[in-house]
Amino acid sequence: MDILAALTEEFHLRPAQVRNTVELIDGGNTIPFIARYRKEVTGSLDDQVLRELSERLAYLRGLDEQREKIRAAIDEQGALTSELESALNAAATLTELEDLYRPYRPKRKTRASVAKARGLEPLADALYAQTVSMADPLSLAASYLSEEVPAPEDALQGARDILAERISDDAGIRKRLRVVMMAGGELVSKAAKDEDSVYAMYADFREPLRKLAGHRILAVNRGEREEFLKVSIDFDRAKALSIVCSSHVKEGSPATEQVREAAADAYDRLIFPSIERELRNELTDQASADAIKVFSLNLRHLLMQAPVKGKVALGLDPGYRTGCKTAVVDPTGKVLDTGVIYPAPPHNKIQQAKDFLKNWIRTYHIQIIAIGNGTASHETEVFTADLLKDLAAEGRTDIAYMVVSEAGASVYSASKLAAEEFPDYDVSLRSAVSIARRLQDPLAELVKIDPKAVGVGQYQHDMPQNQLSQALDGVVEGCVNTVGVDLNTASAPLLSRVAGINNTVAKNIVAFREENGSFTSRTQLKKVPKLGPKAFEQCAGFLRVPESSNILDNTAVHPESYNAAEKLLELCGLTLPEAQNGQTGTLAGKVQELGAQSLADQLGIGVPTLLDIAAELQRPGRDPRDELPPPLLRTDVMGLEDLKPGMELTGTVRNVIDFGAFVDIGVHQDGLVHISQITNRYIKHPSEVLKVGDVVKVWVLQVDQAKKRIGLTMKPPKEALHETT
């Protein structure tokens, strides 16, 4: 297979783009580095396309390796014909390759192999020939009797077993059946237990395979795994047998019925169960791939939420019996103090808790409060809102709070990483610190947690874990490198997500920093143990050194382009000190006036790199997240009982899934906006309109207090309410 040609056609790219990109990948370059600093070579492919191309490249290379193994195995048996070799070369999937290899694969003991051992293969061949003038099958079978085959009927049964396996091994038949079953088959699920469960809607369920939504496939699979459902594929058997027989049964022969019976047995016993399994695996793989894409998209938006910079934060990790753990962190995330208060049942030491926090607020000048959304969260939120009212009465109106997802916080708090970071704090206090930092800088804090544990996916435990981890790690890596990392404040987990830096090098950077003080330039990185020239090339552009005397060290301009950046300023009548002082506002106009292509030619760089350099010089140290809407902070609280149909609220999108989006509206319980209630126009997926972190206006449709379910709409209330009546 010509892999480069296949990738060119599949991704609709120019041959040179694919060739150059593959060379860069094979050269050990990371995806973030290629996407940012090799735009001229790749034709400005973004990191998502590059990751997909890299994954597809690995798949096609694996396919070619398997093709060669199968070709060699068949050739060893002396069965490799030119026709079979052509079919192997044309196979585009592992399934097609396996179908072609099936007749030659060493088989365990089967009914056919037993029949062959009893000498019945010549009888099977004679029957399969289905000549018009052949003898009666029973008469033919009489010649094959033995101690193991006592009667003609036994001989015919053995011959049919051989034919059934032969027909089952027909790659062409399998391919045709796969196509028609996917087009006309239905997935059927039935209740396996006479008891209520979350799978009640699938207790008597039937839907065409071609229309099945991914979340239904994953739900049915889980129900089957937990033994609440029995699941199967239903397809017109007569239609399937017609396809099988069309290739193997010849009419008008005394042996026709014998072969027809063998074909039916092949379909019922061998082909259908196999294809049913393959189709369900294929559906599951596709559903998992789609779910991983949604998870990845949600994670990207979660990590890229706007940080709350320059504010001292109070983190509250709610609890009942053990109290509410508290932590104050300064604007850089440094822990200033920790403690425990007891404002919730069974203690209800509300006034004592208020006095404690008021003292902290005065002492540390706290401006924002982050409340974890776990156990006792609602009671803690009510307490906090009441505290803010007291403070407002005293003239402090500049404090607000936000309920922050605790997803993964407990896992992090009990981890070796957290123990290394906070050796003097117990697990619960570490959680309070993490909650405060999540509001200050979601990206820097969430990179410490397994991406699968951040709570923005669906059915993540049912997906291929390696595939999921690889995709989510790619998202984290992409986000970290898009934002950039402060070399002097970043934790080892954050540094390890920078292109070209592994865990060992990340720890070495932190150790070097602790031993030698803050980095004063990017070039100092070369002194870090185990950070060689290749690693420096990959990581340098993504690391920021605000303390450097060279402003370029605090931009995304790569060191390899420093000379070009300085010369660009010179050609535009500007200087590096002016860039240092933020006096490069005229740069974009100068580039346009002088011509980007002309400037790029003079500098010996490409236009994409030129434009990137110009953008960085105009806003040194910029954080792309600063351009996003800030998080929604609150000063008051409502309960589920306060909600009424038609009520207008503002909320934050917490999770986007196949059938809708969950929105935090400040009542502890997220409400669901079903996909049908997101917009008046048709959309295939909620992610076309919404993303995690969006602040949206919603109206209450319905409230079920017993089940703690809230139905929301983003449509005008009169229209939405009319649809539900």
Q: How confident is the model at residue 720 (pLDDT cuts 50, 70, 90)?
A: very low
- Between β-strands 313-317 and 324-329, what pairing exists: parallel, antiparallel or unpaired? antiparallel
Long-range contacts of 134-138 (CB under 8 A, 24+ apart): 134/253, 134/254, 134/255, 135/254, 136/254, 137/254, 137/255, 137/258
Q: What angle do CA 377, 379, 381 make, to 5 degrees?
A: 65
Q: Which tokens belong to 393? A: 């009465």
Q: 436 pLDDT exceeds 90?
A: yes
Q: State the Cα–Cα distance between residues 230 and 188, nearest whole angstrom.
A: 8
Q: State the Cα–Cα distance between residues 360 and 366, nearest whole angstrom.
A: 7
Q: Specify which residues 655 forms β-bridges with.
A: 662
pTM of the full structure:
0.87
Q: Which tokens belong to 126? A: 């004679």
CA distances from 214 to 78, 207, 218, 348, 536 (A): 44, 12, 6, 46, 42
Q: How confident is the model at residue 140 (pLDDT cuts 50, 70, 90)?
A: very high
Q: State the Cα–Cα distance between residues 230 and 204, nearest whole angstrom.
A: 10
The pLDDT assigned to 89 comes to: 94
- Where do the domains of the chain lie? 3-104, 115-150+176-295, 313-463, 640-724
Q: How confident is the model at residue 163 (pLDDT cuts 50, 70, 90)?
A: very high
Which 3 state secondary structure label does DSSP give 328?
A: strand
Query: Is the torsion defined by CA of 291, 292, 297, 303 positive or negative?
Result: positive
Q: Which tokens belong to 324? A: 């509410």
Where does 206-341 have alpha helices with state H? Answer: 214-225, 237-248, 256-265, 272-303
Q: Between 696 and 640, where is the model more confident?
A: 696
The pLDDT assigned to 634 comes to: 84
Closest C-alpha to 232, from 268, 185, 173, 176 = 185
H or E stretch at 63: helix 47-76
pLDDT tens digits, one per residue of 596-653:
999 999 999 999 999 999 999 998 888 888 888 888 888 887 788 889 999 999 999 9
Q: State the Cα–Cα distance between residues 85 and 381, nearest whole angstrom.
A: 69
Domain 313-463, what fold? Nucleotidyltransferase; domain 5 (3.30.420)
CB 382 within 8 A of CB 419: no
DSSP structure class, residue 634? B
Q: State the Cα–Cα distance between residues 640 and 642, nearest whole angstrom.
A: 5
Q: 17 pLDDT exceeds 50?
A: yes
CATH architecture observed for domain 640-724: Beta Barrel (2.40)
Tell me yes or no: is domain 115-150+176-295 CATH 1.10.3720.10: no
CA distances from 514 to 346, 379, 400, 504, 517 (A): 45, 42, 35, 15, 6
The pLDDT assigned to 718 comes to: 63
The pLDDT assigned to 580 comes to: 77
Helices 587-594 and 596-603: crossing angle, nearest 10°?
A: 90
Q: How confident is the model at residue 546 (pLDDT cuts 50, 70, 90)?
A: very high
The pLDDT assigned to 126 comes to: 96
Which 3 state secondary structure label does DSSP give 286?
A: helix
Q: 719 pLDDT exceeds 70?
A: no
Query: Poorest-confidence range of 96-100, 135-139, 412-416, 495-499?
Result: 412-416
Query: Over the chain, what is the mean pLDDT?
Result: 93
Q: 208 φ, ψ to 5°?
A: -60, 140
pLDDT tens digits, one per residue of 561-570:
999 999 999 9
pLDDT tens digits, one per residue of 232-250:
999 999 999 999 999 999 9
Q: 721 pLDDT exceeds 60?
A: no
Query: Is the torsion defined by CA of 688, 689, 695, 700 positive or negative?
Result: negative
Class of domain 3-104: mainly alpha
Same fold, 3-104 and 640-724: no
